[in-house]
């Protein structure tokens, strides 16, 4: 049985199937020779053991129809499948031409930076793709200052990152990942961000055995202090730790035998994104011959309604559009970008020119309104963060497929599909289902005890499906891994050439 529910749309009605609990099991509803029964056989394998699985598969036709579901309305930990909700909400609710605009200005003798929440400034992957250094924006600003005749700042460097709340790290992370807080995937997020809010540490042998190791910090800024006791050795690997907050201290100890590189650097989170941004900017300006006499200070510059003060002398504006952010969030599963997008919808939806404070609370509120807009039942679901890193998140397979179906019929469908990972292609699916390249696009998710996969499959006769496969308690399986199960289901969808035998629509 299925229910066809109209969804709101800017220009035309969208009919999207939203699943209700079935009175009968899928095994009874589908005859033995159906695709649904083949999938049910995979999910009935004793090798699954006590691993919990939530599944929903929807046939994408004029009236999307549920092909199969299992525990589809039970909340599961989504891991990074949470990013599907975050990026979809940002794509739908923010204007297509939305830009994060970071402002460099002068106010009297002071140099002022006003943040907009852009997570991409100095992102290494985007910088490599553009053939630029991670500090390229700061170099451009130095050129603008020089062109304006500014060679010295007599006052202070002021930065305003209050567009986002000053709680830079999700509170749940500090408890759930207390021994991992220096790792890149728990990087803080602020109104100003640089280099994914990490300092990259490259360690190389220093020559003869026993000589001090050569340690390079990227970026090299006074915000980060280095303590290096590491020695060159025939064998051994360095021990790299981060302590402190302002400044951050990087300690490198142990021994090193093989040279590291910028591409294989150890990335350690910093603590204060705004201070890290401003300190790096000051360092780059000094290297370009523009000294700042005063201090670095955090100060609220925006007006109470979120506007930029009209009396500032604007030197430069750095703009970042959304498509690259969506790709880094979904295709590469970069947590920082998703967290910034969650707070961005809280700040900017309905207030593009006069942003509110983007916070976890305001972001969650907008996300829940987005699910309501789509008509998706989300009782029991929990939106704790934007990336899915938190173990407190809960999402149903039905909510995920509801969002996927909606986005597949949205005017920005092509842009949406382009930000997902491709099996055997780019992103986090590059090593999985390589024979299905061009047929499976999705979002992976992994945290301890959780492996998830949601997205789209194209099968014979150009049949298309939206699917969500959420596996929790993965350590309790009896031999079949979550990846094997997920990939097997996708292979069934991608190769099934027989009748679908889906339940008839409700009249």
- Kindly state whether residues 284 and 298 are assigned to the same domain: yes
Name the helix (H) or strand (E) containing 274: helix 273-287
CATH at 224: 3.50.80.20
**CB-based burial of residue 274 (10 Å sphere; 0-12 exposed, 13-18 middle, 19+ buried)?**
buried
For 478-495, what is each residue's pLDDT tens digit? 999 999 999 999 999 999
Instruction: Round to whole Å and give the CA distance between 494 and 465.
Output: 9
What is the token pair recorded at 448? 């301890």
| Interval 45-64 mean pLDDT | 96
DSSP class per residue in 149-174: T--EE-S-EEEE-TTB-S--S-HHHH
Instruction: Round to whole Å and give the CA distance between 137 and 252.
Output: 30
**CB-based burial of residue 223 (10 Å sphere; 0-12 exposed, 13-18 middle, 19+ buried)?**
buried
- Kindly state whether residues 235 and 278 are assigned to the same domain: yes
What is the token pair recorded at 506? 């409700």
For 245-287, what is each residue's pLDDT tens digit? 888 999 999 999 999 998 899 999 999 999 999 999 999 999 9
- Kindly state whether residues 158 and 294 are assigned to the same domain: yes
Cα 358 to chain centroid distance, Å, stands at 16
- Kindly state whether residues 364 and 380 are assigned to the same domain: yes
Q: Is residue 380 part of a domain?
A: yes
Cα 354 to chain centroid distance, Å, stands at 25
Domain boundary among the residues 321, 351, 375 is at 321
Overall domain count for the chain: 2
Answer for the pair 383, 346: CB distance below 8 angstroms, yes or no.
no
Residue-level pLDDT at 33: 58
CATH at 482: 3.40.710.10
Q: Is residue 504 part of a domain?
A: no
Q: Interior CA angle at 491 toward 489 and 494, to 5°?
A: 115
Q: pLDDT-based confidence at 500, cuts 50/70/90?
A: confident
Residue 18 confidence (pLDDT) above 60: no
Is the Cα dihedral 24, 30, 32, 35 positive or negative? negative
Instruction: Round to whole Å and give the CA distance between 228 and 235.
Output: 18
Q: Is residue 501 part of a domain?
A: no
- Kindly state whether residues 434 and 489 are assigned to the same domain: yes
Q: Is residue 172 part of a domain?
A: yes
For 393-442, what is each residue's pLDDT tens digit? 999 999 999 999 999 999 999 999 999 999 999 999 999 999 999 999 99
Which domain does 167 fall in, by range? 99-321
Q: Is this prediction's pTM over 0.95?
A: no
- Kindly state whether residues 436 and 405 are assigned to the same domain: yes
Domain boundary among the residues 289, 321, 353 is at 321
Instruction: Round to whole Å and give the CA distance between 5 and 13.
Output: 10
Answer for the pair 201, 251: CB distance below 8 angstroms, yes or no.
no
Q: Is residue 473 part of a domain?
A: yes
Q: Is residue 458 part of a domain?
A: yes
Q: Is residue 461 part of a domain?
A: yes
- Kindly state whether residues 266 and 120 are assigned to the same domain: yes
Q: pLDDT-based confidence at 158, cuts 50/70/90?
A: very high
- Kindly state whether residues 333 and 460 are assigned to the same domain: yes
Q: Is residue 137 part of a domain?
A: yes
- Kindly state whether residues 144 and 206 are assigned to the same domain: yes
């Amino acid at each position: 049985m299925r229910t066809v529910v109209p969804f709101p749309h800017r220009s035309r009605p969208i009919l999207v199937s939203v699943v209700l609990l079935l009175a009968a099991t899928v095994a009874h509803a589908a005859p033995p020779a159906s695709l649904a029964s083949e999938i049910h056989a995979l999910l009935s394998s004793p090798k699954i053991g006590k691993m919990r699985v939530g599944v929903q598969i929807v046939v994408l036709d004029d009236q999307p129809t549920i092909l199969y579901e299992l525990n589809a309305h039970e909340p599961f930990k989504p891991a990074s499948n949470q990013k599907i909700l975050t990026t979809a909400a940002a794509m739908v609710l923010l204007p297509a031409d939305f830009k994060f605009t970071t402002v460099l200005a002068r106010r009297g003798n002071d140099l002022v930076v006003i943040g907009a929440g852009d997570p991409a400034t100095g992102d290494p992957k985007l910088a490599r793709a553009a053939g630029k250094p991670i500090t390229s924006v700061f170099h451009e600003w130095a050129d603008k200052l020089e062109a304006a005749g500014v060679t010295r700042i007599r006052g202070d460097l002021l930065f305003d990152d209050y567009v986002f709340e000053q709680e830079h790290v999700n509170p749940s992370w500090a408890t759930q990942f207390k021994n991992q807080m220096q790792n890149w995937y728990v990087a803080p997020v602020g109104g100003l961000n640089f280099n994914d809010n990490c300092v990259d540490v490259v360690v190389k042998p220093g020559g003869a055995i026993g000589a001090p190791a050569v340690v390079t910090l990227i970026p090299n800024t006074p915000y980060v202090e280095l303590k290096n006791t590491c020695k060159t050795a025939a064998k051994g690997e360095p021990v790299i730790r981060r302590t402190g907050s302002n400044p951050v201290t990087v300690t490198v100890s142990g021994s090193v035998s093989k040279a590291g590189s910028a591409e294989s650097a150890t990335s350690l989170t910093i603590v204060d994104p705004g201070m890290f941004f401003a300190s790096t900017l000051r360092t780059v300006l000094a290297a370009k011959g523009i000294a700042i006499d005063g201090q670095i200070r955090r100060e609220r510059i925006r007006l109470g309604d979120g506007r930029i003060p009209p009396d500032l002398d604007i030197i430069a504006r750095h703009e970042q559009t959304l498509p690259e952010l969506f790709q880094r969030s979904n295709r590469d599963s970069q947590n920082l970008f998703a967290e910034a997008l969650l707070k961005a919808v809280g700040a900017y939806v309905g207030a593009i020119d006069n942003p509110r404070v983007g916070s976890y609370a305001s972001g969650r509120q907008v996300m829940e309104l987005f699910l309501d807009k789509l008509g998706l039942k989300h009782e029991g679901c929990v939106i704790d963060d934007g990336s899915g890193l938190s173990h407190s998140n809960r999402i149903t397979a039905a909510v995920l497929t509801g969002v996927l179906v909606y986005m597949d019929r949205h005017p920005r469908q092509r842009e949406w599909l382009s930000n997902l990972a491709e099996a055997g292609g780019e992103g986090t699916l590059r090593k999985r289902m390589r024979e299905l390249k061009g047929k499976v696009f999705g979002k992976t998710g992994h945290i301890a005890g959780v492996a998830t996969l949601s997205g789209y499959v194209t099968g014979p006769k150009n049949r298309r499906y939206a699917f969500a496969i959420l596996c929790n308690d993965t350590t309790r399986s009896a031999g079949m891994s979550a990846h094997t199960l997920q990939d097997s289901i996708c292979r069934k969808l991608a190769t099934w050439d027989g009748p679908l035998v889906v339940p008839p629509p409700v009249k």
